[in-house]
Amino acid sequence: MKKSFTFQKSVPTVICVASTLFLSCCSEVSQDVQRLKPAYATSNPSGPSLQFKSSGASVPAANVKGMDGLPALVKGTLETQSEILAAAENFESALARIGVAQSGYLPQLSLGISGGVLGDDQAKVRPQLTGTQMLYDFGRTRRAVSRGELSAQYAHLEFLDTVIDNLAETAIAQARYKGLGAEATEAQERLTTMTRISTLISERESEGLADVTGGLEARRRVQTAETILLQVQVAQNAARRDLERRTGVSRALLNAPMTKTTPGCGTAPALDQIPAVLMSRLDYSTSQTVMEDAQKSRLPVISLKASTTPDSGSRASTRVGVNIGVSAPVFQGGAARAQSASAVRDMNAAAARIQSETEDARNDFDDAVSDAEDASVIIGSLERQAVLLDDTRALYQSQYLQLGSRSLNDLLDAEEEYYQVRQDIALSRTDHAIAQIECLKASGAVLSAFGLTDRVLFGLILAP
């Protein structure tokens, strides 16, 4: 239940009081407008820009600005991923909703028509024009605008998070594609070596220096090597298609580096560059405004109301009224108390989320650093093992062909073990490259690593 108090005074008195309250309201508006100018776009209009057409399709070079110097896969990812465009449109929607909240500062006009039977039993239709101007509401509209701004900032961070995720996924896809290329090279060399040994065994068999069983075993090993090569090639083709779909880049450019330097892990995550952490802080700020609303929900709203109601067909009977109204809730069935309790819980949850996101960011960074270090250790061990196996297979070939002190199975096993280790090295290098990309993401350095710091995409600056 709301109770309204209406004070009807002379027009000059009403105008004087309304002007005083309206100036107070305008000071809040000017503060909000000044605050609603975050650096969503570049402060330098002539600076680098990544503005594309509003389409998920690949954009012709003539419609792309500021892309010089960007790696092909980075540019391709930003151009082709419609998910990024959708996030940009979500931001524009959130920005527009700020205007909805700001409208509370402005006059509201309404036109209505009422009718009824008067005492002389004649029906009358009366149009009514009503104007209402909020004069003072103890910060209620200001807090609504603040929540709108926080929502826009949140949408901007979601946009950045989408850009970062897509770039990281592209980099990981490229790492897998390049790693499978290295594995295919090792598998091809394995097949070539096994084919050469099989041919040699066949020649020795024809000369009576080897039995039929040895020739069959050698050909079986050739078939195994061929199957491994085909499996790797199939996986590489799938990785190539995935990378081409993600970037729209031709096969010739798929191996081009995405960064100018080798990605590194750094020493600690930059929490002020990680969208998830920043979004949790915005959640807390939003919950604070909701709490303030709950605490001040019983405060009144002071407004100025003017109305004019002419009788149909008679201008002389037109009535004009200007009133200052004060409206405040008196009883709401416990809604204010429930709103306060809910706001307290929301603030507690938001505070817990800040701690959770911060811990997750640090844990993700530590895990990525550990994965990169583990991969480096494994690569070093496998490389040392490959050197020993290379010496072993050379010795076994000599012992088999010249001394006859080694069996054919020993020779073939040594060759297979050597090439399997070489393939494991290629796989571990892929794991190391992926761990370094995860390091970039966990440390908040993806945008800077890919040369996108402070560039503008779809009118939005690529920086928190």
SS3 assignment for 63-131? HCCCCCCCCHHHHHHHHHCHHHHHHHHHHHHHHHHHHHHHHHHCCEEEEEEEEEECCCCCEEEEEEEEE
| Angle subtended by helix axes 140-206 and 275-295, to nearest 10 | 160
Q: Backbone dihedral region of 266: left (phi > 0), alpha (psi from -120 to 50 degrees) or beta?
A: left
* Contact by Cβ (8 Å): 447, 463: yes
CA gap 221, 232 in Å, rounded: 17
CA gap 287, 347 in Å, rounded: 5
Amino acid present at 174: Q
- Please give the pLDDT value at position 209: 66
Residue written as token pair 């391709």 = 76
C-alpha dist (Å) from residue 369 to 277, 437, 446: 19, 10, 15
CA angle in degrees (0–180, nearest 5) for 443-239-383: 70
CA gap 9, 194 in Å, rounded: 105
Is the confidence at residue 7, as pLDDT, over 80?
no
Q: What pLDDT band is residue 47 in, cutting at 50, 70 and 90?
A: very low
- Strand partners for 457: 50, 460
CA gap 222, 199 in Å, rounded: 10
Question: In degrees rounded to 5, what are phi and psi of residue 390?
Answer: -65, -40
Q: What pLDDT band is residue 36 in, cutting at 50, 70 and 90?
A: very low
The pair of three-digit structure tokens given for residue 297, joined into one six-digit string: 């929900």
The pair of three-digit structure tokens given for residue 138, joined into one six-digit string: 């103890």
Pick from 55-59, 203-207, 268-272: least confident: 55-59
Pick from 103-112, 120-129, 220-229, 455-464: least confident: 120-129
A 10 A CB-CB count for 70 gives: 19
Amino acid present at 281: R
CA gap 160, 22 in Å, rounded: 39
Mean pLDDT throughout 214-229? 92
- Please give the pLDDT value at position 53: 33
* Contact by Cβ (8 Å): 119, 143: no
Burial class (CB in 10 A: 0-12, 13-18, 19+), 225: buried
Helix (H, G, I), strand (E, B) or coil at 334: coil
CA gap 274, 287 in Å, rounded: 21
Query: Can you list the alpha helix ranges (DSSP code H) found in 140-298?
Result: 140-206, 212-247, 275-295
| Angle subtended by helix axes 275-295 and 335-398, to nearest 10 | 170
The pair of three-digit structure tokens given for residue 284, joined into one six-digit string: 């807390």
Q: What pLDDT band is residue 35 in, cutting at 50, 70 and 90?
A: very low
pTM over 0.85: no
CA gap 324, 326 in Å, rounded: 7
- Please give the pLDDT value at position 127: 80
Q: What percent of the chain has pLDDT over 70?
A: 80
Top mean-pLDDT range of 14-18, 36-40, 295-299, 401-405: 295-299
> Which residues touch 4 (CB under 8 Å, ≥6 apart)?
325, 326, 327
**Pick from 307, 326, 302, 323: nearest CA to 14:** 323
Question: In degrees rounded to 5, what are phi and psi of residue 453?
Answer: -60, 125
DSSP letters of 363-400? Answer: HHHHHHHHHHHHHHHHHHHHHHHHHHHHHHHHHHHHII
C-alpha dist (Å) from residue 49 to 45, 79, 82, 404: 9, 13, 18, 71
Each residue of 53-65: pLDDT tens digit? 333 333 333 333 4
Each residue of 134-186: pLDDT tens digit? 888 888 899 999 999 999 999 999 999 999 999 999 999 999 999 999 999 99
Top pLDDT among 362 and 125 is at: 362
- Please give the pLDDT value at position 6: 42
* Contact by Cβ (8 Å): 320, 146: no
- Please give the pLDDT value at position 279: 94
* Contact by Cβ (8 Å): 82, 56: yes
